[in-house]
Amino acid sequence: MMSSVSTVFARLRTLEKAALGAVLGVGLVLGVGSLVLPELIWDGFLDPYVWEPVVGDATAGDTGYNVTNTALFAILLFTFVIAISGMLRIADLPARPATILALVPWVVLASVLRVLEDADLFADGPDRLLISPLIHFFIAAWVVGSGLLASLATRGMDSVEDDEVFERMIYRIRFCSTLMLLLFYMVLFEPSLSGHGEISWFTVPIGAVLAVLVCWFAPAAPDLSWKPVERMLFSTGIALSVVGLGFWLQFAVEPWAAAGSQELWPVLVAIGLPSLVIFVMYSKGIGAQMELESMQIEPGVLAEDWTMDEWEDHESEEKDRIESLTGRAMLASPLTLTFTFGQLCDGLATWIGVDFGNYSEKHVLGSKIMEWGSSLMDGDGAWLFLLVKIALTSLLVLVFAKTRVEHHQRHLRLLIVLALLAVGMAPGIRNLGRNILGV
């Protein structure tokens, strides 16, 4: 066991080792320090700055973030991304642009569950798991569990050329997705239903049936290049989200907690406008992307035998052609499209909720931006937050269009986009859900 751990550690690159060491070091200091020096570490730091906001958010609702926990979460997120990217690289897990599409349903799931926590669905105890940052670890545990189950169940079944092997693989993923769906429902939802005995729950079975259908059809939906793990994550994430949306529908027709005005028009704005933007981006870039794919080149990723320095020093007509196509091709990449959609959705949903609804911003930086907006123009100032989001998204698109990564950095690029979705798409869908349900 120790030998395998040391072997994995040896294969990590310097930055990955440093990030892993930082994560383990912080965890050790805070964990052991809370036991050895509880008055200093727990009473003086973790409890007031980290744990009390979590408990307050779960019980009172919308406890604001503070500078300390915001900085801590941001640093840990950054170091986790680097450390985990190295482990995914060593495990040789998929890191294609399309892989992000298998993970997007889990980002949606986090938002769906967070809205249900806002609506007081969950019992005391499990509700704390659905408050940031614990919800990220909770969802990550199910992602890892789903991936491991798929890997074990479909070992040696990557071939798509053998129809019989492919069908066996699809059937096994269907079974595994359904199993994860049942476990998730029993662990999270079932213990909370007894606290709402007066509710008929007539739309929840509809969501459950639709989720089972997703488990059956979704594994075979992606194209043949998808790996079994990607198919499993894609189908399971969608199925769990569908179950959660069944509870959304139940709340809309039969609220079990106090609800304000329920509005559908925010969906047209916060989903419709970003969808239009990414459609335009896709149309502009798909031609260049297809041309690069015909050359067996992944946009923005150097070939395995090239380093960044070698590529920058290299001169040829082929390089000039690749460089001329890559910027436009990245406009149609699922990586760029997903974080663009997420950031714009977050900006629009926040603007609608704050400037047109009765919501307020709980994040430190967002609140400060809105204060500046209020000082410039009468109102709550969320219009400035939206403009900052648009500017930030434009800058990110430009960076991704210009940045080239070496082959071994593909997992890091993938996780950076996933982190952008966690801080963009996830709060955006949560804000939109709260607008829709009036919670």
- The pLDDT value recorded for residue 387 is 93
User: pLDDT tens digit string along 228-275?
Assistant: 999 999 999 999 999 999 999 999 888 888 777 777 888 899 999 999
Name the DSSP class of 118.
Answer: H
> Residue 164: CB partners within 8 Å, gap ≥ 6?
none
- The pLDDT value recorded for residue 62 is 62
What is the C-alpha separation between 108 and 114, in angstroms, rounded?
10
Contact yes or no for 343/423 (Cβ under 8 A): no
Please provide the distance, in angstroms rounded to a whole number, between the alpha carbons at the two ends of the chain. 49
**Phi first, then psi: what are they for 301, rounded to 5°?**
-115, 125
Name the DSSP class of 301.
Answer: B
> The tokens 């007066």 sit on which residue?
198
What is the C-alpha separation between 102 and 219, in angstroms, rounded?
11
Tokens standing for residue 94: 């998929």
Domain boundaries, the chain: 1-92, 94-258, 260-439
- The pLDDT value recorded for residue 419 is 92
Q: In whole angstroms, how far apart are CA 200 and each of 48, 59, 87, 130, 256?
A: 40, 25, 46, 24, 10
- The pLDDT value recorded for residue 115 is 93
Q: Taking Cα atoms as reference points, which of 110, 116, 133 lies closest to residue 426?
A: 110
What is the C-alpha separation between 168 and 162, in angstroms, rounded?
10
The count of C-alpha atoms lying within 13 angstroms of the C-alpha of 345, restricted to the half-sphere facing its C-beta, is 30
Query: Mean pLDDT per segment of 10 residues, for the chain of length 439 residues?
Result: 63 87 87 86 83 72 70 84 89 89 96 92 82 87 94 83 85 96 93 82 91 95 87 96 95 84 85 96 96 92 90 90 94 96 93 81 78 80 90 95 92 93 90 88
Contact yes or no for 232/201 (Cβ under 8 A): no
- The pLDDT value recorded for residue 199 is 84
